[in-house]
Chains A and B, each alone.
Chain A
Amino acid sequence: MQSSTFYTRNKAYLLTLLGLGVVGFVFIGFMMIMDWEYFLKYPLHVILTGDTSGVLVEPTSNYQAMVNAAFGPSYNSIAPEIIRASNERQEFIWWVFVAEIAIFCFMYAKYGRKVAIVTNPNDEVEVFSLFHRAVIWLNIVVIVALIITGFNITWGMRSGGGDIAFFLRGSHEMLGLVWLPLWFAMTVIAFKDAKILFNNSITKKLILKGGYTPMKRVIFIVFVVMGAGLIFSGITIWYIHPDAFTHSEFIQLKRYLLYVHFGASVLIMFFLMDFVYSVMVAVKGNLKGLITGKYPREHLEQLAPDVLRDIEEKR
C-alpha cells in the first residue's frame, strides 16, 4: 500500500511552489532591474486613488513637477527592466524552452508513453460534446496564433521587421481580443472542481468530465490566472492608445502592464507546454478523442476511470 503523507498528497503543489520560488528568488534578487517598493505601491495607489500618473510623492521642486508633467515620474523604477527583459527575451528565453523540452525528453525516455489496451474499439463513449470540442479547438488555434504573433514581436530580430512582421503584430492585438471570450469559455468548462461545489445538471452538462490530478489543477490555475493577466494587460495596453500629447498620465501604467504581460506570457507558456506534453505525448489516444469527442470504453477504464465514472453517473 502506498503511504499517504502530506508530501505525497501535495507533491505537485509543493514542487511547483518550490520551483517558482527558486526561479522568482533568483530573478527578483539578482537579475531584475526593478524598484520593487514602487512596483508594489503603484497598483495600490491606482486602486485607491484612480490616479495612473505614477506620482506617489508630491513634487518638491519645479523641476520635479515639470518632469512629472512632461515625461512621467520615476523613470528608473520600471522602464530599465522593460528594456532588459526585451533584450533578454530575444537572446535567452529560447533556452528556457529548450531546457523544458530536454526535461520532457528525459521523462519520455524514463516513463515512456501510456497506451491503453483496447480489444473492442467499437465500444465508444462520448467524452467531449460538440461545444466542448469547439471551445478547446478554438482555444488551441487562437493560442497557437497568439504564440506565433507574440514571438514575432519578441524575436523580431530574426524576421528583421517589415510589412509581414507589422501585419502579424497587429494580428496579435486583434487575436488577443478574440481570445477573451474563448479564454472565459475554457475557464468555465475546465473548472472541474466546480462539481464539488455545485453538482447539478448544468455543471454535469457544461463542465468537462472527470476530476483533476494535482498537476493538472496547477496547470488549470495558471491558465486562468495568467490568462486573466495577459488579457487584462493586453487589452488595456491596446485600449489606451498613445495620444498625440504627453503620455505622462498613463505611461507608468503601460510599463507596469507590459511587465505583467511579459511575466504572464512566460509562465503560461511554460505550463501550457507541460500540459501539451502530458496530454498529447505522455498518453496515446487523446488527439483522436479531441477530434471525434469519443474514446473507447477500455481506454477510459484503464487511463481515465474518473471520466468514465462521471459519464456513468450522468446516466
Chain B
Amino acid sequence: MSKPEYARMKFYCDEDLCIDCNGCVVACKEAHEVPVGVNRRKVVTINEGIVGKEISISMACMHCSDAPCQQVCPVDCFYIRVDGIVLHDKDKCIGCGYCLFACPFGAPQFPQDGAFGTKGKMDKCTMCAGGPEETNSPAEFDKYGQNRIAEGKVPMCASMCSTKALLVGDSTEVAAIKTYRSVAHGKGISTQSYGW
C-alpha cells in the first residue's frame, strides 16, 4: 500500500512584489484579535528610501519541517500537524522564551502581561489553523484566533495581500507559482526562498 501524501504547508513572500503596505500585519491582527504589543506577522524592509534597491518581505512563523522551537521547548508544548503546520499549546507554555532564542525568524511573540511586566504565554502565527482546543470553539478563538484552515479558507494575511506577494499553501504548489512567475517575468529565480 502506498504511503499517503500530505500537503506540506508553507508561506512564501516574493520580495519583488511586496510593497511594504503592512496589509498582512493588519489583517492578521484584526482577524485574530491579536493584542497590542504582539505581531504575529511583520514586514521587514532594507535599503529603505533608496530607489531601486528597497526590498521588503512579510515574515511570520515559517512552520519549519524540523522546527527548532519544538526541539528546544522544555515543556514540549509544540506539535507539528501532518500537513506541516507548527502549532503550540498555550495551556502548557510557561513563557520561558527558549523558542525565541532558537527560532531563526524571530517568530515567537510574548505579551508583557505577567506580574511586574514579565513575559506572558507565547503567541505566534498558527497559519490560521487554531490550536489544540475544539475546532472553531470560543476557547480556541480566544487563545489562538480564527481557524480558517478548518473552514477550507486561505490564511488571512495571504488572502488580503494586495499584490499577491505573500503566497501560502502546499509547498509544491507555491514553488510552482514562484517558478511560473520567475519564468514569465524572464528574470529567473533571483533569490533563495527565505526560511524554506
Residues of A within 8 A of B (CB): 62-63, 65-67, 69-72, 75, 79, 82-83, 86-87, 90, 152-157, 159-162, 165-166, 168-170, 173-174, 237-238, 241-248, 251, 254-255, 258
Contacts and interface: CB of A to CB of B under 8 A. Distances in A.
A86 B47 contact: no
B145 interface: no
A245 B43 CA distance: 8
Contact of A170 (B39, B92, B115, B194): B115
Given A87-B71, A246-B44, A247-B100, A157 B114 contact: no
A156 B46 contact: no
A248 B91 contact: no
Contacts of A72: 106
Nearest to B69: A83
Contact of A156 (B74, B102, B108): B74
Contact of B55 (A62, A161, A173): A62
A78 B191 CA distance: 25
A143 to B, nearest CB: 20
Interface SS, A side: helix
Q: 6 closest A-B pairs (Cβ-Cβ)?
A: A156-B74, A161-B75, A161-B92, A156-B75, A247-B106, A244-B39
A127 B44 CA distance: 62
Contacts of B89: 161
17 contacts: A62-B46, A62-B55, A66-B191, A69-B46, A82-B98, A83-B102, A86-B72, A154-B74, A156-B75, A157-B75, A161-B92, A162-B92, A166-B95, A241-B110, A245-B39, A247-B106, A251-B106
Given A66-B194, A70-B194, A244-B38, A174 B74 contact: no
A9 to B, nearest CB: 44
A94 B14 CA distance: 47
Given A86-B74, A242-B108, 18 more contacts: A66-B55, A66-B191, A70-B57, A70-B59, A82-B102, A83-B71, A86-B98, A86-B102, A87-B72, A90-B74, A154-B74, A161-B75, A162-B91, A169-B96, A173-B118, A242-B110, A242-B119, A248-B106
